[in-house]
Chain A
């Protein structure tokens, strides 16, 4: 009597392996975006490692070298009270990124959930929500954020909340339109047919399909949030000084005289641009990879 033993199936690929494969695919598919993704990662790393990377403490004034142009000692020069610009730019990334991630996590997500509910339930709830969203959207982002930040008083939490609120309508709009088309899909109808509850259909069947647009939206919003945060700092309603933020630094530069020294303007601005560009291009690449149909829609 012979016993045939079935050869064991190969173990299913682990999640980590899958994720790594996804990253590899991304690099091959969109090398440019992947490059900018690396830049974004480096900026995040720089923010985390700021105390190690920065050559000087960001608040320490050196009264012997005030408002000096870039030199070997201070690569990015110093400001009016002799603080090292490079160190301040590095520490500034902490605030900018915290605010941006916080605002997106809170605002875009809330907006997306709202959009999910609107698209799914429709009817009067949807109509009311759409009017509310239109109202929120009719104000320029910056003015809305400024008013909220001002009303709630300064501080990092306030700034996060203020920017998050300006992000809600966009999340709502985009996810709603995705849900509207998903709702008509046959598999959703089938789920309804076998008696799935509302919650089950929303979270089990529709929500997973919204992840791609959400990710794209979130990366783009990171960039927008950074720009708004900088603008708030520049207008003087952001995170109060002496905390180094890129917007505060540019605002300070303006106080350095009618014509501010070029290094005080160039470097913080470059930091903003580079960071935002990195997130935008990364988002662009994710969009191309996850859903080519969404090209240009977010």
Chain B
């Protein structure tokens, strides 16, 4: 019952976002039609195009037509390339997902152990380094880190490719995630190549989240370590690692989980610039181009898809939260 209500809640959020975005892009200044047709377009051409796109009708009629289209899986035609936005999004989504998921995995796999070490060896070298990093890590724009890594790893040392997602033909399309596709088809050349292309963008996108995860794990571990039960367990002779990993970490982890939910939208924002630097053919780059071109349908479509992901990720983290931490029971 609770589950159903939450799903309904998510749908309402998405509906509101779609309405707001739909109205906003149309109300705010800017002339997408003129831009799409170019300077040479005559008034008749523009008028014809507007009728074609349904832009001559009242706003509410347009919105309901849009919603009806959504139900059938149509996101409307993009002005940048004359295809349905849904198709383009569907094509480009895997590239961004691959990047974001890899970065998140990297940030968690490195950040959590680092945070634990920092907390258990308080004021030690790891602790000092991670604290310094948590301040520095949020201090530079990630596109700069991207450019620098590109220069050093890609150009100067030639360790990794400079831009793009793959050299040569991509593996047979199954999921669109090159790593997975290559693995499934046993195309290990493509897999290695895709992985090499992934290295720098992944590191860049993981830098900020890594700093945040480390400091979150550290501070919540420290909070938890100061509780009476820790001293008690120690007094009765429970081994230190058992206290740390079985009890402290588990209790400390729920706040980290919430953070990971928050990080997801942030990383998609990061992908907007990182994808530009690496010429990564992802959704975020399409979104950035759409905003620059004032492409109504594309902006609304991309926002909706991003929102959908944010909502779903939040939902999943909250469910995990309950599963991991029996102290919390969501009564709502």
Interface residues of A (CB under 8 A from B): 135, 138-143, 146-147, 150-153, 223, 227, 230-231, 234-237, 247, 250, 253-254, 258-260, 262, 265-266, 268-269, 272-273, 276-277, 280-281, 284, 295-296
Q: Is B268 an interface residue (CB 8 A)?
A: yes
A260 to B152, CA, bound (A): 11
Are B16 and A135 in contact, with the CB atoms below 8 A?
Answer: yes
Expressed in whole angstroms, the minimum distance between the Cβ of B272 and any Cβ of chain A is: 6
**Please, which residues of chain A bring their CB within 8 A of the CB of B265?**
138-140
A142, A153, A284: the one contacting B135 at CB < 8 Å is: A284
Are B139 and A276 in contact, with the CB atoms below 8 A?
Answer: yes
A236 to B285, CA, bound (A): 13
B144-157 vs A, Cβ < 8 Å mask (1 yes, 0 no): 10011011001100
A246 to B64, CA, bound (A): 44
Q: Is B136 an interface residue (CB 8 A)?
A: yes
**Please, which residues of chain A bring their CB within 8 A of the CB of B17?**
135, 138
Are A147 and B141 in contact, with the CB atoms below 8 A?
Answer: no
Expressed in whole angstroms, the minimum distance between the Cβ of B130 and any Cβ of chain A is: 13
A260 to B20, CA, bound (A): 40
Are A254 and B147 in contact, with the CB atoms below 8 A?
Answer: yes
Q: Is B209 an interface residue (CB 8 A)?
A: no
Q: Is B30 an interface residue (CB 8 A)?
A: yes
**Please, which residues of chain B bring their CB within 8 A of the CB of A146?**
272, 288, 291
Which residue of B has the minimal Cβ distance to A134? Answer: B13
Which residue of A has the minimal Cβ distance to B140? Answer: A273
10 interchain pairs, CB-CB under 8 A = A139-B303, A142-B270, A146-B272, A150-B292, A227-B140, A231-B272, A259-B150, A259-B162, A260-B151, A265-B148
Q: Is B310 an interface residue (CB 8 A)?
A: yes
Are B151 and A296 in contact, with the CB atoms below 8 A?
Answer: no
Q: Is B46 an interface residue (CB 8 A)?
A: no
A147-B299, A280-B138 given as contacts; is B294 within 8 A of A250 (CB)? no
Are A151 and B28 in contact, with the CB atoms below 8 A?
Answer: yes
**Please, which residues of chain B bring their CB within 8 A of the CB of A235?**
272-273, 276, 288, 292
B side interface size, CB within 8 A? 46
Q: Is B317 an interface residue (CB 8 A)?
A: no
A254 to B277, CA, bound (A): 8
B135, B219, B269, B311: the one contacting A143 at CB < 8 Å is: B269
**Please, which residues of chain B bring their CB within 8 A of the CB of A231?**
141, 143, 272-273
Which residue of B has the minimal Cβ distance to A269? Answer: B144
Q: Is B163 an interface residue (CB 8 A)?
A: yes
Expressed in whole angstroms, the minimum distance between the Cβ of B62 and any Cβ of chain A is: 18
A131 to B15, CA, bound (A): 14
Are B277 and A142 in contact, with the CB atoms below 8 A?
Answer: no
Expressed in whole angstroms, the minimum distance between the Cβ of B17 and any Cβ of chain A is: 8
A140 to B136, CA, bound (A): 20
**Please, which residues of chain B bring their CB within 8 A of the CB of A141?**
266, 269
Are A281 and B273 in contact, with the CB atoms below 8 A?
Answer: no
Are B148 and A266 in contact, with the CB atoms below 8 A?
Answer: yes
Which residue of B has the minimal Cβ distance to A277? Answer: B139
Are A269 and B268 in contact, with the CB atoms below 8 A?
Answer: no
Are A265 and B291 in contact, with the CB atoms below 8 A?
Answer: no
A146 to B306, CA, bound (A): 15
A237-B291, A237-B292 given as contacts; is B139 within 8 A of A269 (CB)? no
A140 to B303, CA, bound (A): 10
A138-B307, A269-B140 given as contacts; is B16 within 8 A of A262 (CB)? no
Are B272 and A262 in contact, with the CB atoms below 8 A?
Answer: no
Q: Is B29 an interface residue (CB 8 A)?
A: yes
A48 to B292, CA, bound (A): 32
Q: Is B176 an interface residue (CB 8 A)?
A: no
Are A234 and B141 in contact, with the CB atoms below 8 A?
Answer: yes
